[in-house]
A and B are shown apart, each in its own frame.
Chain A
Amino acid sequence: MLAAMGLSSVDELFDAVPAALRLAGGLDIEPGLAEADVGGRFDAYAAANRPVGRDLVCFAGAGAYDHDIPSVVNRLAYRSEFVTAYTPYQPEVAQGVLQALFEYQTLVCRLFGTDVANASLYDGASALVEAANLAVAATGRSEVWVSRGVHPQWRQVLATMAVGTGHRLVDVALDDGLTAWPEEGVPGAVVVQNPNYLGCLEDVGAAGELARRLGALLIVAADPVSAALLVSPGSLGADVVVGEGQPFGASLSLGGPYLGLFACRREHVRRLPGRLVGETLDTEGRRAYVTTLRTREQDIRREKASSNVCTNQTLMAVAFLVHLGWLGTSGLRELAVRCARGTRYCREALLAVDGVQALAGAATLREFAVRTPVPADVVVERMADEGFLAGVSLGEEYGDGLLVAVTEKRTRVEIDAYVGAFEKVVR
């Protein structure tokens, strides 16, 4: 190959790199390992963690849930044709990913009661950030009212990004677990999460009426499992619905890769962030799919684009599709009901423990918060020794407490054992 170019060494190809910039001595990284040795290294990392399932029975949630993942997800979504493709820039040879995304978009819209969904964003937090950007652009108002019932880490990301965009974020406090909205103001967006971070069911319709009256857009952060049981946010007035898609198809994995769900009313489609797949025809009149309304996007619109997103989480969207397809219409509702049953059973048993109190009085669905006689951090630490991931410690903002989630995986025996251990560690 070198001879064909009239060269004698590969080094000559790097002549453009000034000598002073050359890395003498190479990279300070150990020599390459054989495949088996890489495996050994990863065995060691894995052994130093305490995963759920193998080591701990999981009662933690907070946006990352321990659901069963059916075998079809890994066998289908992780087929190498989906795994090793990229953004469908050549639609003629990317109909597989494009059609899967079209079906995914359809399911997200059905869950949330919206007209349009994009082909995914990074995670719940990034979807929320994009929703706020859309609302501010659509209303021309930079004030964003954010309920304290919205996931605190999503709010932190929103605050990080607001430094760049100049949005003015107004925290709206909770009263006994539910958002207590101000009556007057000039927000561009009103953001509510349902069920909220404490697991409580919010009055989304009232938030929608408030937003409409004040001329703001309503952004709802929704959980896709709960959505199967709840009146859809779209029908309650949501302009944009965002969510964390992890419950369908993504393992816990220390928090990523997950899946940012983003859906909205059709009137906002030209401000939609990220990719959108649409149906069309090929030259012979056959049904075909293609990414569309591309002029919104960064590679064409550059500094005037609706968003900077390019790489997204498509593979996780395919996994979401397969998981939902496996559940089907009846299975989706059954899954949501089973989570709610386990949550109720666990909540009632835990509240019967001496000194444990509900943190809020409002109705809950798949997750709930309690005050504990000893600090929540201590409860989590002690419960790990008993073989449980007890929940998520709420921290100062919520006046200390423990957030407990129960999925369809938890049996009555596990829940009883959890409550028994809880009784012991808070004594």
Chain B
Amino acid sequence: MTAAAPGGKATSAPLMGRDSEPTLFELSAPGRTAANFRATGVPEWPAEELVPAAHLREDPTPVAEVSERDLVAHMTRLSHRQFSVDLGAYPLGSCTMKYNPKLCDDAVARTGLADVHPASPAALTQGWMALLADLERALCRITGMAAATLQPPAGAAGELTGLLLMRAFHGAAGQDGQRRRVLIPDSAHGTNPASVTLGGYEVTQVPSDDRGCVDLDALAARLDDDVAGIMLTNPNTLGLFEEDIVAIAGAVHDVGGLLYYDGANLNAILGVTRPGDMGFDIVHMNLHKTFAVPHGGGGPGAGPVAVTERLTPFLPGPRPVKSAQGTYEWMQPERSIGRVHSWHGNALALARAWSYILANGGDGLRRVSDAAVLNANWLRHQLRGTYDIPFDRPCMHEFVASATNLKRDRGLRAVDVAKRLLEEGFHAPTTYFPLVVEEALMIEPTETESPQTLAALADALLRIAAGTGDDAHAAPRTSPVGRVDEARAARQLIPTWDARPT
């Protein structure tokens, strides 16, 4: 790895004070506006002549009355109250908060992409369709699959799409009524069981063994011909590779079930191994994790779903497909489950991911996983002995530590470690997940943090562990607000400015 300046610690971020930022509504002053409109020459009929009286809203909808200058100051100040990857390291386990290369921002900021209407006939969108088809092919090569839909706009949407594909597949075999259960490990993401319910299936939980992997005996006991499939994350949410994946795949396939790959942790295995080679039938990818689409404060993401040959006829449509004449056409797969998005998915997010893949290339993607796994293991190595590491063996791109010992010895819980880490200039790890580990701290440094940043992060975590709960309960003390009263928010719900008690 090339040496890089320590970039991950954000305690130097300048702040002017710790006052609250007024809402846009408080900044409002009667008569102010930033808006202006082009001269059109269209006749200026009043609203009363455009809208039938029975439909016309009498008073304008109150928005806010602010100048552009005030709006800019407001949003800029809000942005200064927000931690982000660009500000510093963000080791939020399971979310793959890697640095998002700026070239991807500019690659998609082209009028030839951004200003294309989604209902344009195919003849007018050949560039977009070529881009999507190229991305689909690359994603299939990365996962070892035959074809993909790019429509699902997020991971959870991909999961539900995958489960509906499962249903369609079993339905085509006349087994839709018979296969009612989907197996899920107890370490799974919450989206998995929630998606299973929406897919019309029942969840059967599979316990983990003492090595943190799927318990093969427990799995066998739960497999029968009423099983539609299993959803697995590999590496799993403990950051461990399911070493028995081939045996698991065989057992599930033996009872006629399908294997669904939750791609949340794909960042660990790019160019190393492929879900298709492991025996998976359906794979979703989180392009906002693995392929550096920025997370946007919560989204948008993209959750394409790739499948094996036998599931291809069921994919959502329409799909961009190259015709014999060399032009692209929208094609509906013959037994398609139908649309899963209003249009063609989060197209600009898809394009960003493709620019990232092009910039890295096949060789670069392999280096991504190498560095992600190296970074996670090095950090694990630094923390062992101080933090409990329940499954202390080489991990993949992330690992789960536990504050159980710190809670017992020093009154320091996982939440305290997290809040203290904010004071140290880092975002916190994911806490209290996966559920199979008590006081869990799920740490994913990603491949984009330098060794110096990792060392600073390790130092901070070790320093925190040497402190006490009494000290940590007041943390964070350096952020725009102190610890937030979540119970009050739920008890006295204030979901809008207008709902505040007067």
User: B397 to nearest A CB, angstroms?
Assistant: 10
User: A320 to nearest B CB, angstroms?
Assistant: 11
Spot the interface stretch: A174-182, A184-192, A207-215, A250-258: A250-258
Instruction: Verify if A241 is at the interface (C-beta below 8 Å from B).
Output: no
Residue in contact with A125 in the complex, picked from B128, B339, B377, CB distance below 8 Å: B339
Instruction: Verify if B138 is at the interface (C-beta below 8 Å from A).
Output: yes
For the A-B complex with A17-B273, A32-B360 known, give 17 more contacts whose Cβ atoms are closer than 8 Å. Answer: A26-B271, A27-B366, A42-B107, A90-B428, A92-B479, A164-B160, A230-B55, A252-B114, A286-B20, A304-B197, A311-B300, A315-B298, A327-B33, A328-B33, A329-B33, A329-B60, A338-B37
Q: Which 6 A-B pairs have the closest CB atoms?
A: A255-B343, A46-B112, A331-B35, A96-B82, A32-B361, A48-B127
0/1 interface trace, chain B 458-502, chain A, CB 8 Å (1 if under): 000000000000000010100111111110111011111111100
Interface set, chain B 1-38, CB cutoff 8 A to A: 1, 18, 20-21, 23-25, 32-35, 37-38
Interface set, chain A 210-260, CB cutoff 8 A to B: 227-232, 244, 251-258
A26 CA to B274 CA, complexed, in Å: 11
Residue in contact with B240 in the complex, picked from A10, A16, A126, A311, CB distance below 8 Å: A16
Question: A345 to B42, Cβ gap below 8 A?
Answer: yes
Spot the interface stretch: B118-126, B217-225, B253-261, B404-412: B118-126
Instruction: Verify if B331 is at the interface (C-beta below 8 Å from A).
Output: no
A286 CA to B243 CA, complexed, in Å: 50
Interface set, chain A 44-100, CB cutoff 8 A to B: 44-54, 56, 58, 60, 62-64, 66, 68, 70, 72, 75-97, 99-100
In the complex with contacts A52-B115, A153-B339, A315-B296, A96-B156 CB distance below 8 A? no
Instruction: Verify if B290 is at the interface (C-beta below 8 Å from A).
Output: no
In the complex with contacts A278-B489, A333-B61, A408-B37, A117-B496 CB distance below 8 A? yes
Question: A22 to B273, Cβ gap below 8 A?
Answer: yes
A161 CA to B341 CA, complexed, in Å: 11
Question: B115 to A53, Cβ gap below 8 A?
Answer: yes
Given the complex, which residues of A lie within 8 Å of B203, measured CB to CB? 302-303
Interface set, chain A 145-164, CB cutoff 8 A to B: 151, 153-154, 156-157, 159-161, 163-164
Return the chain A residue nearest B109 by Cβ. A74
User: B363 to nearest A CB, angstroms?
Assistant: 6
Question: B50 to A344, Cβ gap below 8 A?
Answer: yes
Question: B489 to A326, Cβ gap below 8 A?
Answer: no
Instruction: Verify if B52 is at the interface (C-beta below 8 Å from A).
Output: yes
Q: What interface size band does chain B fall in?
A: 35 or more
Instruction: Verify if A392 is at the interface (C-beta below 8 Å from B).
Output: yes
Residue in contact with A27 in the complex, picked from B270, B427, B476, CB distance below 8 Å: B270
Question: B75 to A322, Cβ gap below 8 A?
Answer: yes
Question: A92 to B419, Cβ gap below 8 A?
Answer: yes
Given the complex, which residues of B lie within 8 Å of A64, measured CB to CB? 117-119, 343
Given the complex, which residues of A lie within 8 Å of B337, measured CB to CB? 160, 163
Instruction: Verify if B131 is at the interface (C-beta below 8 Å from A).
Output: yes
Instruction: Verify if A183 is at the interface (C-beta below 8 Å from B).
Output: no
In the complex with contacts A254-B347, A269-B495, A328-B35, A85-B127 CB distance below 8 A? no
User: A32 to nearest B CB, angstroms?
Assistant: 3
In the complex with contacts A90-B428, A102-B497, A279-B489, A54-B191 CB distance below 8 A? no
Residue in contact with B418 in the complex, picked from A90, A105, A201, A344, CB distance below 8 Å: A90
Given the complex, which residues of A lie within 8 Å of B270, measured CB to CB? 27
Instruction: Verify if A141 is at the interface (C-beta below 8 Å from B).
Output: no
Given the complex, which residues of A lie within 8 Å of B97, measured CB to CB? 86
Instruction: Verify if B194 is at the interface (C-beta below 8 Å from A).
Output: yes
Given the complex, which residues of B lie within 8 Å of A408, measured CB to CB? 37-38, 40
Question: B200 to A166, Cβ gap below 8 A?
Answer: yes
In the complex with contacts A23-B274, A110-B61, A298-B156, A160-B340 CB distance below 8 A? yes
0/1 interface trace, chain A 312-329, chain B, CB 8 Å (1 if under): 111110100110111111
Question: A411 to B40, Cβ gap below 8 A?
Answer: yes
Given the complex, which residues of A lie within 8 Å of B40, measured CB to CB? 338, 342, 408, 410-412
Instruction: Verify if B246 is at the interface (C-beta below 8 Å from A).
Output: yes
Interface set, chain A 4-33, CB cutoff 8 A to B: 4-5, 10, 12-18, 20-23, 26-33
Question: B342 to A244, Cβ gap below 8 A?
Answer: yes
Question: A88 to B342, Cβ gap below 8 A?
Answer: no
Instruction: Verify if A261 is at the interface (C-beta below 8 Å from B).
Output: no
Given the complex, which residues of B lie within 8 Å of A88, measured CB to CB? 297-298
Question: B107 to A39, Cβ gap below 8 A?
Answer: yes
Instruction: Verify if B269 is at the interface (C-beta below 8 Å from A).
Output: yes
Question: B82 to A280, Cβ gap below 8 A?
Answer: no
In the complex with contacts A95-B480, A410-B40, A389-B117 CB distance below 8 A? yes
Return the chain A residue nearest B131 by Cβ. A45
Question: B51 to A257, Cβ gap below 8 A?
Answer: no
Given the complex, which residues of B lie within 8 Å of A331, measured CB to CB? 33-35, 63
Given the complex, which residues of B lie within 8 Å of A123, measured CB to CB? 153, 341-343
0/1 interface trace, chain A 292-304, chain B, CB 8 Å (1 if under): 1110011111111
Instruction: Verify if A124 is at the interface (C-beta below 8 Å from B).
Output: yes
User: Which of A85, A160, A410 lies at the interface centre, i.e. has the most chain B CB atoms within 10 A of its CB?
Assistant: A85
Given the complex, which residues of B lie within 8 Å of A91, measured CB to CB? 481, 484, 486
In the complex with contacts A49-B116, A49-B125, A54-B111, A256-B358 CB distance below 8 A? no
Question: B493 to A293, Cβ gap below 8 A?
Answer: yes
In the complex with contacts A51-B112, A331-B34, A303-B298 CB distance below 8 A? no
Question: B494 to A21, Cβ gap below 8 A?
Answer: no
Return the chain B residue nearest A321 by Cβ. B24
Interface set, chain B 71-107, CB cutoff 8 A to A: 71-72, 74-76, 78-87, 90, 92, 95, 97, 100, 103, 105-107
Report the count of interface residues on A (CB-CB < 8 A).
199
Residue in contact with B194 in the complex, picked from A53, A298, A389, CB distance below 8 Å: A298
Residue in contact with B299 in the complex, picked from A29, A313, A411, CB distance below 8 Å: A313
User: B124 to nearest A CB, angstroms?
Assistant: 4
Question: B297 to A315, Cβ gap below 8 A?
Answer: yes
Given the complex, which residues of A lie within 8 Å of B115, measured CB to CB? 51-54, 251-253
Residue in contact with B347 in the complex, picked from A95, A256, A329, CB distance below 8 Å: A256
Question: A256 to B197, Cβ gap below 8 A?
Answer: no
Question: B494 to A278, Cβ gap below 8 A?
Answer: yes
Instruction: Verify if B319 is at the interface (C-beta below 8 Å from A).
Output: no
In the complex with contacts A23-B271, A92-B484, A300-B190, A277-B103 CB distance below 8 A? no
In the complex with contacts A21-B246, A106-B498, A160-B296 CB distance below 8 A? no
Return the chain B residue nearest A284 by Cβ. B482
Instruction: Verify if A168 is at the interface (C-beta below 8 Å from B).
Output: no
Question: B81 to A95, Cβ gap below 8 A?
Answer: yes
Residue in contact with B120 in the complex, picked from A28, A60, A99, CB distance below 8 Å: A60
Instruction: Verify if A198 is at the interface (C-beta below 8 Å from B).
Output: no
Return the chain B residue nearest A259 by Cβ. B300
Interface set, chain B 162-212, CB cutoff 8 A to A: 163-164, 167-168, 189-191, 193-200, 203
A62 CA to B120 CA, complexed, in Å: 11
Instruction: Verify if A397 is at the interface (C-beta below 8 Å from B).
Output: no
User: B219 to nearest A CB, angstroms?
Assistant: 18
In the complex with contacts A26-B362, A318-B297, A330-B159 CB distance below 8 A? no
Question: A29 to B362, Cβ gap below 8 A?
Answer: yes
Residue in contact with B38 in the complex, picked from A151, A277, A305, A411, CB distance below 8 Å: A411
Question: A332 to B295, Cβ gap below 8 A?
Answer: no
Question: A412 to B42, Cβ gap below 8 A?
Answer: yes
Instruction: Verify if A131 is at the interface (C-beta below 8 Å from B).
Output: no
Instruction: Verify if A423 is at the interface (C-beta below 8 Å from B).
Output: no
Question: A50 to B120, Cβ gap below 8 A?
Answer: yes
A95 CA to B378 CA, complexed, in Å: 32
Question: B294 to A160, Cβ gap below 8 A?
Answer: no
Given the complex, which residues of A lie within 8 Å of B37, measured CB to CB? 68, 334-335, 338, 408
Question: A308 to B191, Cβ gap below 8 A?
Answer: yes
Given the complex, which residues of B lie within 8 Å of A303, measured CB to CB? 193-194, 196-197, 203
Given the complex, which residues of A lie within 8 Å of B87, measured CB to CB? 81
